[in-house]
Structure 1
Amino acid sequence: MTKYKGYFIDLDGTIYAGSKRIPAAKRFIERLQSNGIDFLFVTNNTTKMPEDVVKNLGDNHDIHVSVDNVYTAGLATADYVKKDAESNQLDKTAYVVGEKGLITALQNNGFEITDNKPSYVIVGLDSSVTYNQLSKAVLLVRDGAKFIGTNPDSNIPTEKGMQPGAGSLVKLVEYATQQKPVLIGKPESIIMQNALDKIGLNKSDVVMVGDNYMTDISAGINFGMDTLIVYTGLSTKEQVAQKEVQPTHQIDSLDDWEV
């Protein structure tokens, strides 16, 4: 079994299943911690700040980590547009369809949130989005603002079922503008490169762990990183068996993995 110096780890379906605990995940994280192995939760969530993720893990799943262990698509988006604005000498201004986690990350990176000729239009998940907000995003992109999508997830799993994800809102703006966005989250490589910069290891020393072939595992494959799929969430063995590129490792439970 390959020994890795670092782990990128998905959350929902891998570490927990909605509000339900996955006991093997707690044991897995504690093995990493006791062995001094670096890890980052790399998540496409943009609605929460790392503090919220840490609190949920501790309060609801008895998994105790720090904010330094969390890298969200919201943080990755804010990091990307900050670097892009500085390299292209653009104003740090953005119009945002999104919630607190994304907006706070942008503001922490020095961005002003405005609808007055912004440099960027950033579309993420917003559970209370209105037609007027999306219409404004479309008009601003058509007027020349750079179009950024936080992540391409078409759906998010909830207690009610599979509800529209950020990708559904991004696609609406894309369709109405006929412009492709820069996508940040998994399975794209931007979030992976940013996470690698954050963890400070070589790509060959890190493995991407997740339950979803289309996001987690594809992110690792697209980035040229080893992958570990755990069958506790979305993808099934039958689905994965049909894929042209197989995960580097496959397990039924995180208890089956030796760090």
Structure 2
Amino acid sequence: MALAWKAFLIDLDGTMYHGSRMVPGADQLIAEMNKQGIPFLFVTNNSSRTPGDVARSLVEMGIPAKEEQVCTSAVGAARYLADKDPGATVAVIGETGLVSALEEAGLRITEQDPDYVVQGIDRHFNYETLRKAAGWIAAGATYILTNPDLLLPGSNGLMPGAGTLSAAIQAATGVVPITIGKPESILMLQAIERLGLAADQVAVIGDNMLTDISAGAHAGCGTILTLTGVTTEQNLEHYKEKTGIVPDVICSDLQELMLWITGKER
């Protein structure tokens, strides 16, 4: 099966870095993939930054990256809405990356009777934000969630993600959102389309069984788990049981992954 994988979709948070710290071996892995001409895209559920910002941050860490190699859940949400309802009005609960993506897609941002509420990670989320969101949704706005991550690996450990904020909005409204990012299929299918390959020719690399690996399995891709972030040796069996998924490949770190992906340990 592994030999049939022609390209890779690589997670960022917890796989390539923790906050501002590069995961050891990430720079060598990407440099070797570039050297061997192995196609890949970075696919991240994080909606807070633009693809350009993400690429620059990776380069600053020493990881080779280009803006066009980055797929974010913010851009995925914007493309989904622009295709579905061009020029729609949108209330945003999120940060720069989400606002920028929606504006660039031609969507109109407003707090007055929006057609959609689009929510991502928002580190300024507070009671007033929750009140507004509940009001917009109660008035008929469709609720779009960029990604359901409950936790994100940060420089100082795990921190709440967009899914944790969404849990409050769902509790207040009783409305389940349309989810764009992993483990749902919308962002994944957009990324696979960009590669120009069939899903079974692509493998997903990530640290999170609930998002990355589940997304890969649901999309029909191969799955490569790295024990570099949310999933560890200690909780792996718990996540296997919770998801019902066994990854095709499990690597303890990125050095092991590099040896495997470049064919030296198959």
Q: Under a length normalisation based on structure 1, what TM-score does the superposition of the two structures give? A: 0.92
| Between 161-170 and 202-211, the greater mean CA deviation after superposition | 161-170
The partner residue of 1:163 within 153, 159, 162 is 159
**In structure 1, what is the Cα distance between the partners aligned to 2:229 and 2:151?**
14
1:160 deviation in Å? Answer: 4.0
The partner residue of 1:216 within 195, 212, 215 is 212
The partner residue of 2:230 within 226, 230, 234 is 234
Cα RMSD after superposing both structures: 1.7
1:68 matched to 2:68? The reply is yes
| Between 178-187 and 131-140, the greater mean CA deviation after superposition | 131-140
Deviation string 1:189-238 (CA, Å, 9 cap, x unpaired) is 11111111222211111100011111111111122211011222221235
| 2:187 corresponds to | 191
Aligned residues with identical type, % of pairs: 39
Q: Is the 8 A contact 2:76 2:190 kept in 1?
A: yes
| 2:135 corresponds to | 139
| Between 27-36 and 109-118, the greater mean CA deviation after superposition | 27-36
What secondary structure, in the 3-state scheme, does the structure 2 residue paired with 1:2 have? helix
Matches within 5 A, 1:32-71: 32-60=33-61, 62-71=62-71
| Between 30-39 and 93-102, the greater mean CA deviation after superposition | 30-39
| Between 74-83 and 26-35, the greater mean CA deviation after superposition | 26-35
How many residues get paired? Answer: 254
In structure 2, give the amino acid aligned to 1:71: C
1:18 matched to 2:14? The reply is no
What secondary structure, in the 3-state scheme, does the structure 2 residue paired with 1:56 have? helix
Matches within 5 A, 1:79-98: 79-86=79-86, 91-98=87-94
1:251 matched to 2:251? The reply is yes
Deviation string 1:84-137 (CA, Å, 9 cap, x unpaired) is 214xxxx51100100110000000000111012211011111111232222111
The alpha-carbon distance between structure 1 residues 108 and 46, as it changes in their structure 2 partners (threshold 3 A), is same
Spell out structure 1 runs of 4+ moving beyond 6 A.
none
Structure 1 runs not aligned, ≥5 long: none
Deviation string 1:28-49 (CA, Å, 9 cap, x unpaired) is 2112212222211110111111
1:146 deviation in Å? Answer: 0.7
Q: Is the 8 A contact 2:5 2:222 kept in 1?
A: no
| Between 22-31 and 232-241, the greater mean CA deviation after superposition | 232-241
Q: Under a length normalisation based on structure 2, what TM-score does the superposition of the two structures give? A: 0.90
1:129 matched to 2:130? The reply is no
The alpha-carbon distance between structure 1 residues 163 and 231, as it changes in their structure 2 partners (threshold 3 A), is closer
The alpha-carbon distance between structure 1 residues 34 and 3, as it changes in their structure 2 partners (threshold 3 A), is farther
